[in-house]
Structure formats: structure tokens, C-alpha cells
Copies of this chain bind each other. A is one copy, B any other.
């Protein structure tokens, strides 16, 4: 591919690290380096920990949440979103800067960008689907449903691009790919087929409305997996239930490849330090 601009194309935007639509998103998971801790963290390290999870002023990203993580893989994790990738990464850098970095090791992370997926129906596609499902094209009912969708869509897309994080106590985080093996190649399926499978998949999620909230961010070209899934839940039981249910959707059963799962519980800096018995 050449880097030559096409003279007939629209003028190119200025070089920038800020995406046109979505936000940068960082998931970071850490363990305390117990092997180096003859004693609890010093008060200097405790202060650095608290400050890193509560950046202020220009350093404050648009979104930041922290969790203690269950199991040996990680002790805690954070999720950060902002238009500026340096601001997202800076929260991580604040946690591992000297001297606290001697005792905090990042064990996994995922770099992604939020977006409105190509499978989110446009208003026209939404209308076509209802008609395909039997709705009368001229009915008031159809008009009403389409109108409601039209009013809801901007808010739903805002939640996809610049989400509010729920205050629910449990969350799980995992990356995924769509498989490309012979016999189960998502990327050689036509759009119509992929779109139908994603619609079925979305139905599985709707059954958990109010119990689980989901965010999908994109790692394609940015990290080792194609997508990152964030699930926030009212109860950890629902995490198990929704992921199990969805595993039978064709989009998952046949095509999904999963990376590591981290399950966490919402916790502030001091709650993390107390749970981990390091102060």
C-alpha cells in the first residue's frame, strides 16, 4: 500500500491520537509482588497507590473503576477510558512508577477503542428486520417501534462509545476472537449471515436486562485479541449464567475463541489494600 494521498478524496484530518468517534480503553490487571514484601507497603507506597487510582486535574481520565480480582492470577484490576491514549496509559504508569512499582506487577492488560459495531442496526435496517419478521410496512405499530428505536439509538450509541460504568458489585473481563479455522471461518461468512448471528446473540443478552450490562471494545490492530468484553453484574451468579447461555449461540458456539477471564469485585483503593492484606 502506498502512502500517497488520493487527490480526489476528502482532505485528510490532522494527525492526532484522539479517535474520531470512540474513546481509548485500557484494562489492566496486577498482582502484588509478595516475594519482595518482607513487610506491608510503606505509607509512601500506600499514598502512591491511592493517588494512582484517583488522578485529578488534567490527569483525570473520563472513566476509571477499580476491582479486587478473585483467584491467584491477579490481585486487582482497573478499567480506564479517555479520548487521549496517553492519559489512559498514565494511570497504569502511576501504579508502577518508583517506588510502588517494586511491589506491583502488571500481569495482563488489553488496549482497545470503543465503537458502534457494524452489527448495530441502522434505523433503516431495524425497520427492514421488523418487516422481515412479519410486521405490516404501513402499520402504525411499525412506525411507533421504529420511532422509539430512532429516539433510543443516540443514547445507546453514546453508551457504546462513552459508557457510564454501573455501580454493580461484580464484573468480568475477557478478550475474544472470531475463529478463522477451516470449517468455522467467521470472516468468510457474508455480512447477512454474520448479522443474523449477532442479532441472535443480542437476544441472549436482552434476557439479562437489568442484571448484566455489557460493553464491547475493539482491539483489532491494537492488541492480541480482536475484542474485549466487559460484563458488569448485579450478582456474580449472573456472570456465569449469561456467559453459559451465550455459549450456545452459534456466534459463540461455533466461532468464538476466548482469552483469559478475570472476575472482580468493585473496590476502592483502600478496600483493595485491605482485602489483599498488604497495608
A137 within 8 A of B: no
Say yes or no: A106-B1 contact (C-beta < 8 A), given A16-B234, A221-B239, A222-B261.
no
Instruction: Let me know if A143 is at the binding interface, CB within 8 A.
Output: no
Which B residue sits closest to A181, measured CB to CB?
B182
Contact at B263–A206, with CB atoms within 8 Å? Answer: no
What are 23 A-B pairs with beta-carbon distances under 8 A? A1-B205, A2-B206, A3-B159, A3-B210, A3-B212, A12-B234, A15-B168, A22-B237, A34-B97, A37-B98, A38-B99, A89-B275, A93-B277, A98-B278, A181-B184, A183-B183, A185-B254, A187-B254, A218-B240, A221-B239, A221-B243, A221-B263, A222-B239
List the interface of chain A (C-beta within 8 A of B): 1-6, 9, 12-22, 24, 26, 28, 33-40, 68, 70-73, 85-86, 88-90, 92-94, 96-99, 101-102, 104-111, 113, 115, 156, 159, 166-170, 172, 180-185, 187-188, 202, 205-206, 208-214, 218-224, 226, 231-232, 234-237, 239-244, 247-248, 250, 252-254, 256, 258, 260-261, 263, 265, 275-278
